[in-house]
């Protein structure tokens, strides 16, 4: 965002070693090399403790990707990513199951406090009431229900606060959720809109684990080719997904103008919370000025643009890397960092705000 001037975190090291960061096995070695000490400290901390981190960034800024890579780097299941939007959508689906519906209603009767009746709130979720808006109090209760199933894990909250009226709730979120003694902090993500635009057009997601990737900007290890349609496609590299074909996300072809109002609201929320005192902050920056890149990051940490060629004789896809330069929010020629490089900063700063 213009004028924020988030610091560029130095990840460059003297040791001459390169990694292909789209490969999970190589990412694991990369994380150990660049943030191994902090990973060990966080793993030890999470054996008996947890935290609440609020992911704050514009829509499609990488909140889900960064948090999932953070979790991947630490290993195990001590950290969870909680998407408020996904919770509401999953609640709609779970209400189709009578047993789950009764369970949810029972939870809401115990924990929900608000002016809208539970019955009316469920009507909104199920789509029977298309006029009223779902109040924040119900959203918080649904989030609390989801968190109650996580059994004390550390959590990253994605999608809250969603508007300026919800900011006051976020200040007391950990108390509302029962995380009274656990530290909380804000994770601010700064990304140029030029990158957002490029990311949205062509983005794909895994239909099983919902991990987002991009065939041009953030490829997976394995690429497929459909000889009938002559199309290249990404295969999800999450082991449990077994190479399933990733698919386009509906609506992304329209670019960022389709979500302009949302982007402006996200901007306003971030700018207001950046002035808040008393809550630790983590600053994640996706881009690095071209003039400074060689001093701050290793070349393999920069986002390349990919194109693909099909070798009909060998029946295999050839991926070709090309440099990708964008203008940041202040008009400075910049490289975009690959998510893993941003997550190194994420890990190190999280360890620091937790006092490790």
**CATH number, domain at 167?**
3.40.50
Give the domain-ending residue among 116, 151, 186: 151
Give the domain-ending residue among 106, 121, 151: 151
Residues 46-102 have pLDDT tens digits of 999 989 898 998 888 888 889 999 999 998 788 988 888 888 788 888 888 888 888
Average predicted confidence (pLDDT) for the chain? 85
DSSP 24-60: HHHHHHHHHHHHHHHHHHHHHHHTT---EEEEE-STT
Q: How many angstroms separate the CA atoms of 7 and 242, rounded?
A: 38
Q: How many angstroms separate the CA atoms of 337 and 343, rounded?
A: 10
Q: How many angstroms separate the CA atoms of 286 and 194, rounded?
A: 12
* CB of 129 closer than 8 Å to CB of 120: yes
- What's the mean pLDDT in 190-215? 86
pLDDT above 90 for 126: no
Task: Please tell me the number of Cα atoms within 13 Å of 262 on its side-chain side.
Answer: 15
Name the one residue in this structure whose structure tokens are 């009431």. 129
Q: Are residues 194 and 321 in the same domain?
A: yes
CA nearest to 273, candidates 347, 182, 159, 188 = 188
CA nearest to 30, candidates 11, 44, 49, 47 = 11
Q: How far is the CA of 103 from the CAs of 122, 151, 315, in angstroms?
A: 13, 17, 52
Most confident range, picked from 184-198, 234-248, 255-269: 234-248
Q: Are residues 273 and 147 in the same domain?
A: no
The answer to whether residue 5 is domain-embedded is no
Q: How many angstroms separate the CA atoms of 226 and 215, rounded?
A: 14
Residue 229 pLDDT class (50, 70, 90 cuts):
very high
The answer to whether residue 103 is domain-embedded is yes
Lowest average pLDDT, out of 14-23, 52-61, 91-100, 125-134, goes to 125-134
CA nearest to 341, candidates 2, 27, 6 = 27
pLDDT above 90 for 355: yes
Residues 328-349 have pLDDT tens digits of 888 889 998 999 999 999 999 9
Q: Give the pLDDT of residue 189.
A: 92
Q: Are residues 171 and 225 in the same domain?
A: yes
Q: How far is the CA of 208 from the CAs of 100, 127, 159, 221, in angstroms?
A: 22, 25, 21, 17
74 vs 270, residue with greater confidence: 74
Residues 25-54 have pLDDT tens digits of 999 999 999 999 999 999 999 999 989 898
The answer to whether residue 186 is domain-embedded is yes
Q: Are residues 172 and 132 in the same domain?
A: no
Share of the chain above pLDDT 70, in %: 92
Q: Are residues 108 and 198 in the same domain?
A: no
322 vs 44, residue with greater confidence: 44
**Residue-range definition of the domain harbouring residue 111:** 83-151
Q: Are residues 166 and 212 in the same domain?
A: yes
Structural domains in the chain (count): 2
The answer to whether residue 280 is domain-embedded is yes
* CB of 279 closer than 8 Å to CB of 185: yes
Residue 231 pLDDT class (50, 70, 90 cuts):
very high
Give the domain-ending residue among 151, 166, 192: 151
């Amino acid at each position: 965002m213009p004028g924020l001037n988030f610091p560029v975190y130095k990840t460059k090291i003297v040791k001459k070693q390169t990694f292909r960061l789209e490969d999970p096995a190589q990412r694991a070695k990369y994380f150990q090399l660049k943030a191994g000490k902090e990973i060990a400290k966080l793993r030890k901390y999470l054996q008996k403790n947890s935290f609440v981190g609020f992911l704050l960034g514009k829509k499609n800024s990488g909140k889900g990707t960064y948090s999932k890579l953070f979790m991947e780097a630490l290993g195990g299941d001590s950290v969870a990513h909680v998407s408020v939007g996904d919770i509401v959508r999953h609640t709609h689906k779970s209400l189709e199951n009578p047993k789950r519906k009764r369970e949810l209603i029972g939870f809401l009767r115990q924990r929900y406090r608000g002016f809208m009746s539970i019955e009316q709130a469920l009507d909104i979720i199920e789509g029977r009431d298309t006029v009223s808006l779902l109040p924040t109090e119900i959203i918080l209760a649904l989030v609390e229900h989801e968190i109650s199933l996580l059994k004390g894990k550390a959590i990253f909250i994605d999608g809250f606060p969603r508007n300026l009226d919800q900011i006051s709730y976020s200040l007391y979120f950990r108390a509302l959720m029962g995380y009274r003694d656990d530290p909380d902090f804000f994770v601010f993500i700064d990304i140029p809109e030029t990158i957002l635009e490029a990311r949205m057009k062509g983005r794909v997601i895994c239909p099983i684990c919902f991990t987002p990737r991009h065939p041009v900007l953030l490829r997976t290890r394995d690429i497929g080719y459909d000889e009938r349609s002559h199309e290249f496609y990404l295969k999800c590299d999450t082991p449990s997904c077994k190479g399933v074909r990733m698919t386009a996300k509906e609506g992304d072809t329209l670019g960022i103008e389709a979500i302009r109002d949302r982007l402006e609201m996200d901007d306003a929320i971030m700018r207001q919370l950046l002035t808040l005192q008393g809550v630790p902050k983590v600053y994640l920056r996706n881009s690095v000025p071209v003039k400074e890149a060689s001093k701050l990051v290793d070349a393999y940490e920069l986002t390349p643009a990919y194109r693909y060629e099909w070798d009909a004789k060998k029946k295999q896809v050839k991926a070709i890397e090309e440099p990708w330069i964008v203008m940041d929010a202040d008009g400075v020629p910049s490289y975009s960092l690959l998510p893993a490089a941003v997550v190194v900063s994420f890990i190190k700063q999280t360890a620091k705000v937790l006092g490790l």
